[in-house]
């Protein structure tokens, strides 16, 4: 009688190692994507058609993501182009190339500098309104001090009533406007622009709109201004030479 064929020691060792590896893998994923582990192990043994299908689906997803990003960039550039066309005089369009989370509301760096004619104190705006001014310049980059910086001051005017005041940044997309005199006619939604008496900024740049008003503060009333420039997601800005 023929005896059953025994599995060699080498095969037993390989089987034990595979079992140990699977146990380690399942333990480290903590019972999570077991199906993914299973797929990873069996992928070399899957039919070629299935592998081609997986690769095709991955490529389609990648192309769709790239297409969505291109559409978004095109939309932003079209808005920027429309904004630039409305500006008086020559302007310099610059990309935002550096921004620190620690100074998100204080400053950022743009990819244009003195080689393109940019100088300190040039005004910086964007789609939506005033952003700040140039504080430092190198040949190929410039640093922009934002009006949302707590050290920033901007002379402003209420478009509807012509009341004058100054806004101070609060490290957010809101600023505080302090009026120069007692006022009684300020409404939520009133538009605020740079003032003709400002020494740092030309008159007429949109700054924000009134979010709330407190007429009882002293020595003069105050208003919270919601800044209209999209400070949180700026990618391109416009620099205005003097």
| Angle, helices 9-28/34-42, rounded to nearest 10 degrees | 140
**Residue 40 region, left (φ>0) first, then alpha (ψ -120 to 50), else beta?**
alpha
What confidence score (pLDDT) does residue 46 get? 55
Phi, psi of 123 (to 5 degrees): -80, 140
Computed on alpha carbons and rounded to an integer, the radius of gyration of the chain in Å comes to: 30
Q: Report the half-sphere exposure of 88 (CA within 13 A, side-chain side).
A: 5
**What's the confidence (pLDDT) of residue 29?**
55
- 183-187, 209-213, 228-232: the lowest-pLDDT one: 183-187
The reported pLDDT for the residue numbered 17 is 63
Q: Work out whether strand 206-214 and strand 123-126 pair parallel, antiparallel, or are unpaired.
A: unpaired
Give residue 90's pLDDT band: very low, low, confident or very high (50, 70, 90): confident
Q: What is the pLDDT of residues 105-154, one digit of tens each?
A: 999 999 999 999 999 999 999 888 999 999 999 999 999 999 999 999 99
Protein fold of 90-242: Thrombin, subunit H (2.40.10)
C-alpha closest to that of 120 among 133, 129, 109, 132: 133
Distance CA 201, CA 146 (A): 13
Position 215 scores a pLDDT of 81
Q: Where are the domains of the chain?
A: 9-45, 90-242
In this prediction the pTM is 0.68
- Judged against a pLDDT cut of 50, whether residue 102 lies above it is answered with yes
pLDDT at 1: 47
> Which one has a higher pLDDT value, 166 or 6?
166
Kindly state the greatest CA–CA separation across the chain: 114
Phi, psi values for residue 99, rounded to 5°: -155, 125
Other beta carbons within 10 Å of 108: 23
Burial 142-166 (b: 16+ CB within 10 A, else e): bbbbbbbbeebbbbbbbeeeebbbb
| Region for residue 117 given its phi and psi (left: phi exceeds 0; alpha: psi -120 to 50; beta: otherwise) | left
pLDDT digits (tens, 9 = 90+) for 195-229: 988 888 999 999 999 999 998 887 778 999 999 99
pLDDT at 7: 46
């Amino acid at each position: 009688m023929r005896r059953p064929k025994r599995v060699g020691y080498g095969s037993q060792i390989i089987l034990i190692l595979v079992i140990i590896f699977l146990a380690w893998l399942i333990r480290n994923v903590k019972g999570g994507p077991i199906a993914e582990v299973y797929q990873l192990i069996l992928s070399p043994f899957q039919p070629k058609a299935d592998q081609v299908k997986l690769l095709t689906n991955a490529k389609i997803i990648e192309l769709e993501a790239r297409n969505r990003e291109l559409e978004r960039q095109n939309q932003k550039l079209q808005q920027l182009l429309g904004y630039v066309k409305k500006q008086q005089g020559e302007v310099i369009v610059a990309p935002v190339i550096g921004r620190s989370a620690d100074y998100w509301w204080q400053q950022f760096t743009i990819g244009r500098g003195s080689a393109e004619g940019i100088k300190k104190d040039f005004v910086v705006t964007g789609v939506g309104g005033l952003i700040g001014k140039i504080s430092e310049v190198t040949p190929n980059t410039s640093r922009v001090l934002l009006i949302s910086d707590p050290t920033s001051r901007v002379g402003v005017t209420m478009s509807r009533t012509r009341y004058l005041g100054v806004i101070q940044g609060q490290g957010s997309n809101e600023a505080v406007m302090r009026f120069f005199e007692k006022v009684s006619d300020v409404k939520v939604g009133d538009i605020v622009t740079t003032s003709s008496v400002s020494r740092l900024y030309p008159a007429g740049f949109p700054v924000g709109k009134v979010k709330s008003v407190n007429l009882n503060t002293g020595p003069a009333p105050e208003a919270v201004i919601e800044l209209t420039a999209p400070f949180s997601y700026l990618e391109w800005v416009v620099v205005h030479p003097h």
